[in-house]
Chain A
């Protein structure tokens, strides 16, 4: 047995040495306890599916044993009940796994114990009443219960796990259970259940050995001291003490317990085990030396490792290591690509699993690894068309071995790569957009795109159209927001001519490799430059990555199919429109397509697509990411419209986004501070997940500026035209808001911010000063801040200038037309530096729209004002009269009340009658007055007339008098009736 101890030591050191690569400190304690016997460890890993149930059973059994020791019958009864209940729960696990031996053993033991007790008549007599009663019930119960397990028990009886005395057995498992609970504390921190198991087993082992060598606690210390991390010592302290105490108490010989499934217990340090049980006896070795490594064995092993996946205590990094190891073994033994693919699959999955929560992003190293793995996988798949990967392949039907048929592997490359894409986005979301880290990450996009490209080519002929749509969508997602600078270089007409040509280009790809760079990362160009300036640092920190990168760039160069992105986009989207069955992908594709059109200045295509899709009606019912995309698309559409001088459209597109002041939130480009209520943490998490990565952002200032400028171009002439209209409505609230803010300022300096510029320009425009207005809008500051962000800056600027001239002219005419009798077109053209024809057309349009009451006098080239518009004073007077009539109406209502006609409640029942009554009265009053007038003569009659007029609701001027008189009449009429 001493040798065993030694063996233990040596193996543990082996473990240590093998686990040299960046091992976390926390893991160390677990390792150190891994003495020779790892069967249990392995076994538990394998069985971890049922761990929970069996643990439960074991705890109960432990308790049961404790009770047995003190012969507390009532407690034993309780525990037994509990045990049967737990067993019932574990039923389906048991069905799968077969009867757990320890359970059977426990039953056997219990029965013998009870029989013993029963036989011991003296003991029975001395028992308390309660206990003896329990004993008898117990006896019956156990007997009855054991009948169900008769077969198991007999098999067990035939070959019991070495005849161990009850008590020892009991104390052992007690011990082990105790340790289990103890180790849980430790694992709570280390978050590694497996280690705990290892520890437990090693502890058992340790006890066994220390007893054998009849050493005192000093051996413990020695043993611990050998390989215990200092950190762990503290935690072990109480545990060891406890165990020692118990040892003293019992002073019994402890025999190394039998492990249930391990046949040959502790004879030598290396047990030859069946592949099922002892494969990871030492992790680095995976398989025993003399074991034949076959596909079957590896597959089994793989299952074992995977079984622990997702368990609470599974060490995820260890899993990855294990799988990597397995992969090496399988390649070393040339087990064929099928196996390799399968292992790779599992490996990638476990890399995905590495993070405990979904919301966190991967570590960069993990990400690198993932990329490599996926690349490898795709390469293998591409190289071996015989491999069939499908999620519909059942595990049983997998074919990893035979080379004659095609390999069949279960799994889905597509979802794997979708996940990869998600992870990539997550990583971008997680790092600071202004750091070099972000640029580093962004460089990986090329790889991601390349992977997707590969995937596409791989899947193209293999999968259903629905799946292919998903692949296309992935490609589109990486494409739609990237601006293709080549489109600017190419004039529009030429482009149109080229189109058919390019269609061919798609069919036989690889035409313009030169364009690749622009296609790949047009938006990040400056970023990339920046990044390229400092590659040495990066290489230093990640040695492996640079090599891989070059490899990958080679790949991309070989593989990259470069076509005009817009054509490609067209192609992809149209395929999706045609083939997609899920509405979601189609919607996304449409939006991306529109976005892409809009981004590349194809306004009419974009607009028509948006109109035809009818997305505006349904978008509020779709999920939030799509809504975000919709918002982004609308913004892009608005910007495009602006570039095309469709100011009204631009304004309408941007209105929804800009009006609430929540553009940032709506475009998912950052969280807004919420004033009223705190965000719930989960809500915040969700919102963070939705954020767009920085390189996809739309410049908010550009957006706002374009919006404000469009609002200005619309609103200022409108305001001038409807100066006195009481029912005038604001076109743009936020524009008015800006104006108001500016008005509130006591001192206005030269404009600084973009908004101030627009406000200042609006003020200039209000008085028709177009020059000042353009100066403000197209100032240097604005150029730097906003206009230079447009791809065709000069064209846009020219457009803005023209629009400002036109709108200023309109505003001028609206504002000052009342001053003129006639205006010369020539002067106007000069004043606004516009062509005379243009001025003519603008004015004609105004006249046709009846905005301007004037007519053109062709011979003299002038506009003649009709002067039919009411003057300012007149319109004010009109407004006043309107208001007064409202007032009169109000007063009339009051009068009705006075007369007892009650609105609301009374009107319902007696309303009609009373109404009639009232009407009658009025008539009466009028009549009477008339008569009175007749009686009193002409002068009074006119008074009566006036009264009548008042009643008809006319003129408010003399309302006071007329009103009063009416009042009196009504009152009298009323009185008389009463």
Chain B
């Protein structure tokens, strides 16, 4: 433990967290929380410890649901309180991040970035766990840990999302988040218990991951993807318009300068004093370039959707081939 503390102070920021080790308890807790909340967004706090470059998450607790409705509710207060209580029962009480549920992977948003930035800003090793309850019902446990990349952190700190800055820092949508591998680890006792339960209890009746009806999930995904693509094209339209305006302004500027130039030439020819060169920027106020943050986020979101669809359909294809094979055999068998 002591070494962990030490490492926490000394580790460099780049390699802070190599992987995340989740306790089974945390996973179950998160699942339970999301089940309770239903279709709403659920969020909570992760507790744990950074050991070397492994972030151990050993416990978590949810944020109360109707916190936003109650104006007197102090979130910080609640968190501190919660952690103190947990400390009394000798549980890790160090804040190491937070978790959030998501549906169909549509989690990339400004809000998420904001809060993750806050976390990472104050606690360097913070991660955000994204949990997809829908996928879990389909039979795949989907827990992913993300961190903002140092680049994002740097840009976010300045809040400068102008096209130039993005270009300079070589920011791209693929570089917003770092996905941190997640390892779920149970204590030996728990493993032993699981084995025992398996022996005692009957096996689960159905494996829904063999479900062949893939189209509805895909449809939903494609619909979402479509919406995002729409938004993105709107955004690029906006950007386009901005450039048009800039171009127009530039032209106007040039015309102005040229005119002034000619005038001055005429004046000097006449022997008069040339007109002073004025600050063009005063005459033509530079247009404010639109923020590229939306663009980045939307692209990131699209990427996430695409990955999901890819993953899902490759699995689905596998399943279909698998089923086909079985079908053939059966037919052969009947004949």
* Residues in A lying within 8 Å of B, measured CB to CB: 871-873, 876-877, 879-880, 883-884, 886-887, 890-891, 893-894, 897, 902-906
Q: Do A887 and B229 form a contact, CB below 8 Å, given A872-B215, A876-B223, A905-B251? A: yes
Find out whether the CB atom of B226 lies under 8 angstroms from the CB atom of A873: no
Find out whether the CB atom of A876 lies under 8 angstroms from the CB atom of B219: yes
B239 within 8 A of A: yes
CB of B173, distance to nearest CB on chain A (Å): 11
* Docked pose: A699 CA to B219 CA in angstroms: 46
Known: A886-B233, A887-B236. 9 other contacts (CB 8 A): A872-B215, A873-B215, A876-B219, A884-B229, A890-B240, A891-B236, A894-B236, A904-B247, A906-B251
Q: Do A883 and B215 form a contact, CB below 8 Å, given A876-B223, A877-B222, A890-B237? A: no
CB of B228, distance to nearest CB on chain A (Å): 10
8 shortest interchain CB distances as A-B pairs: A887-B233, A890-B236, A897-B243, A902-B247, A876-B222, A883-B229, A873-B215, A890-B233
Find out whether the CB atom of B240 lies under 8 angstroms from the CB atom of A883: no
Measured between beta carbons, the chain B residues less than 8 angstroms from A893 are 240
Residue of B whose beta carbon sits closest to that of A879: B226
CB of A35, distance to nearest CB on chain B (Å): 86
* Docked pose: A322 CA to B216 CA in angstroms: 91
Residue of A whose beta carbon sits closest to that of B238: A890
Q: Do A897 and B229 form a contact, CB below 8 Å, given A872-B215, A873-B218? A: no
Find out whether the CB atom of A902 lies under 8 angstroms from the CB atom of B222: no
CB of A540, distance to nearest CB on chain B (Å): 67
* Docked pose: A897 CA to B218 CA in angstroms: 36
Interfacial residues of chain B within 250-277, with CB under 8 A of chain A in the complex: 251
Find out whether the CB atom of A883 lies under 8 angstroms from the CB atom of B233: yes
CB of B66, distance to nearest CB on chain A (Å): 18
Q: Do A902 and B240 form a contact, CB below 8 Å, given A886-B233, A890-B233? A: no
Find out whether the CB atom of B237 lies under 8 angstroms from the CB atom of A872: no
Categorize the interface residue count of chain B.
20 to 34
Chain B interface main SS type:
helix
Find out whether the CB atom of B251 lies under 8 angstroms from the CB atom of A887: no
Find out whether the CB atom of A880 lies under 8 angstroms from the CB atom of B233: no
Q: Do A903 and B244 form a contact, CB below 8 Å, given A873-B215, A880-B222, A880-B229? A: yes
* Docked pose: A887 CA to B239 CA in angstroms: 12
Measured between beta carbons, the chain B residues less than 8 angstroms from A897 are 240, 243-244, 247
Q: Do A880 and B247 form a contact, CB below 8 Å, given A887-B233, A887-B236, A894-B240? A: no
Measured between beta carbons, the chain B residues less than 8 angstroms from A877 are 222
Q: Do A904 and B226 form a contact, CB below 8 Å, given A871-B215, A887-B232? A: no
Find out whether the CB atom of A873 lies under 8 angstroms from the CB atom of B222: yes
Measured between beta carbons, the chain A residues less than 8 angstroms from B240 are 890, 893-894, 897
A-B contact pairs, 11 of them (CB 8 A): A887-B232, A887-B233, A890-B233, A890-B237, A891-B236, A902-B247, A903-B247, A904-B247, A904-B248, A905-B247, A906-B247
Measured between beta carbons, the chain A residues less than 8 angstroms from B232 are 887
Residue of B whose beta carbon sits closest to that of A871: B215
* Docked pose: A876 CA to B222 CA in angstroms: 7
Looking at the complex, which one of A876, A894, A902, A903 makes contact with B226 (CB distance below 8 Å)? A876
* Docked pose: A784 CA to B315 CA in angstroms: 59
* Docked pose: A877 CA to B218 CA in angstroms: 10
B164 within 8 A of A: no
B148 within 8 A of A: no
Measured between beta carbons, the chain B residues less than 8 angstroms from A894 are 236, 239-240, 243
CB of B172, distance to nearest CB on chain A (Å): 11
Residue of A whose beta carbon sits closest to that of B226: A880
* Docked pose: A883 CA to B248 CA in angstroms: 29
Interfacial residues of chain B within 190-244, with CB under 8 A of chain A in the complex: 215, 218-219, 222-223, 225-226, 229-230, 232-233, 236-237, 239-240, 243-244
Residue of B whose beta carbon sits closest to that of A876: B222
CB of A825, distance to nearest CB on chain B (Å): 30
Most chain A CB neighbours (cut-off 10 Å) among B230, B236, B248: B236
* Docked pose: A286 CA to B239 CA in angstroms: 93
Residue of B whose beta carbon sits closest to that of A888: B233
